[in-house]
Amino acid sequence: DAGITQSPRHKVTETGTPVTLRCHQTENHRYMYWYRQDPGHGLRLIHYSYGVKDTDKGEVSDGYSVSRSKTEDFLLTLESATSSQTSVYFCAISEDSVNYGYTFGSGTRLTVV
């Protein structure tokens, strides 16, 4: 009964191929976020969404695109995967204000070979 799920959980892909990661929520939260986590860098914001079809760039958006056609789904696409995009990707959701806290998904471990 998790309110947020990410798929796939693990993926290995080849350099140069497109990859799409999916984040699905059942909480009807307005805000959705994609972060990547790498050793020594903490969590870095890639893109975020503040409503259907409303998205914006984060700190490390180069090489990534997102789409949100429904409240419940936020897709992250690596247009042409590179080895530097090997990482753990976390999706998060939140209500109107940050004081309620983000709820994170379990993450997608992506390896680009």
Partner 1 sequence: GQSLEQPSEVTAVEGAIVQINCTYQTSGFYGLSWYQQHDGGAPTFLSYNALDGLEETGRFSSFLSRSDSYGYLLLQELQMKDSASYFCAVADNQGGKLIFGQGTELSVKP
Picking from 36, 67, 40, 43, the residue whose alpha carbon sits closest to that of residue 53 is: 67
Q: Which residues on neighbouring strands pair with residue 56, listed in sequence order?
A: 48
Picking from 89, 90, 85, 86, the residue whose alpha carbon sits closest to that of residue 111 is: 86
The yes or no reply on residue 42 touching partner 1 (CB under 8 A) is: yes
Minimum distance, C-beta of residue 16 to partner 1, in the bound complex (Å): 27
Q: Mark the segment that binds partner 1 (CB under 8 A) among 13-21, 62-70, 78-86, 87-95.
A: 87-95
Residues 53-72 that bind partner 1 (CB under 8 A): 56, 58-59
Measured CA to CA, the distance from residue 80 to residue 105 in angstroms comes to 24
Type of residue at 89? Y
The yes or no reply on residue 34 touching partner 1 (CB under 8 A) is: no
The contact set with partner 1 (CB under 8 A) reads: 31, 33, 35, 37, 40-45, 48, 50, 56, 58-59, 88, 90, 94, 96-99, 101-107
